[in-house]
């Protein structure tokens, strides 16, 4: 009887120690220890590389570090790759927005999560590594995601971005999910601020004030930077006005990986 108890205790010790070993092996190498600070995080999606690159000086003038979420990296031309390298050298983050810009929900319904990862995620990471980038954050194409997929993709990325849009009758300062609270969350939602989003500078100022008062990071994003007033695009003038508002409200500029690394 006594021997059985001893064996049980021994087995328990072995299980605990090996459990701890497994735990420490799986433990992430990063820490979520960035102190809470008022900040804004701006990102741009898809593949408008020359339009983004054309605004290098604007970003520099306001000390803004953006995150560029690249889709279809396998299709980048040599000159686009060089422009992205210059943007990276300026301190901007080059991140992933998928290999073929698939709608994850539709794709997974037909083919399952494993095939989605094999077709949309790992080839995107590999294609970016080939040209010298190591994406560590990811923006969902069309903002389409699920909790199950979040769990899977945190194996590949430190931070995931879903999306959020202006809701009529609701201030953006009321949209909790576009504010990062430095709580180690691996998922954030960006507010779309393209010309067609309906988000005004006034809206944004209300959001910036909240970020300042609560020491949160407000997450905003756009696509192209151009004079196109109808599509998924923001003009250089509006972008500059956004940067001025961020300065006025003492928000520092962080990239996505800087939120968690």
**CB closer to Zn ion, 136 vs 224:** 224
Minimum distance of Zn ion from residue 46's CB (angstroms): 5
**CB closer to Zn ion, 139 vs 251:** 139
Helices 236-248 and 201-214, packing angle to 10 deg: 30
Q: Give the residue closest to Zn ion by C-beta.
A: 45
Q: In angstroms, how far apart are the furthest CA atoms of the chain?
A: 82
Minimum distance of Zn ion from residue 233's CB (angstroms): 13
**CB closer to Zn ion, 137 vs 173:** 137
Q: Tokens representing 261?
A: 């690394």
Name the CA radius of gyration of the chain, rounded: 21
Q: Spell out where 29-77 has E strands.
A: 39-46, 67-70
Minimum distance of Zn ion from residue 45's CB (angstroms): 4
Minimum distance of Zn ion from residue 38's CB (angstroms): 28
**CB closer to Zn ion, 116 vs 208:** 116
Binding site for Zn ion (CB under 5 A): 45-46, 141
């Amino acid at each position: 009887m006594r021997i059985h108890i001893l064996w049980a205790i021994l087995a328990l010790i072995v299980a605990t120690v090996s459990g701890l070993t497994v735990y420490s092996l799986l433990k992430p190498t990063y820490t979520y220890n960035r102190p809470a600070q008022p900040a804004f995080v701006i990102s741009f999606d898809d593949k408008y590389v020359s339009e983004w690159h054309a605004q290098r000086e604007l970003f520099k003038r306001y000390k803004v570090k953006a995150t560029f979420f690249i889709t279809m990296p396998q299709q980048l031309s040599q000159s686009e790759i060089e422009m992205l390298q210059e943007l990276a050298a300026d301190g901007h983050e080059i991140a992933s927005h998928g290999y073929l810009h698939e709608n994850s929900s539709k794709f997974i319904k037909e083919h399952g999560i494993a095939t989605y990862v094999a077709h949309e995620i790992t080839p995107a990471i590999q294609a970016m590594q080939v040209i010298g980038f190591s994406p560590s954050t990811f923006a969902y194409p069309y903002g389409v995601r699920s909790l199950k997929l979040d769990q899977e993709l945190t194996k590949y990325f430190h931070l995931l971005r879903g999306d959020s849009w202006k809701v009529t009758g609701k201030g953006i300062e009321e949209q909790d999910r576009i504010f990062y609270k430095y709580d180690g969350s691996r998922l954030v939602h960006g507010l779309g601020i393209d010309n067609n989003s309906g988000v005004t500078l006034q809206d944004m100022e209300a959001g910036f004030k909240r970020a300042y008062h609560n020491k949160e990071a407000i997450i905003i994003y756009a696509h192209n930077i151009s004079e196109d007033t109808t599509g998924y695009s923001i003009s250089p003038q509006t972008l500059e006005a956004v940067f001025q508002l961020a300065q006025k409200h003492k928000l520092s500029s962080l990239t996505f990986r800087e939120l968690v690394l």
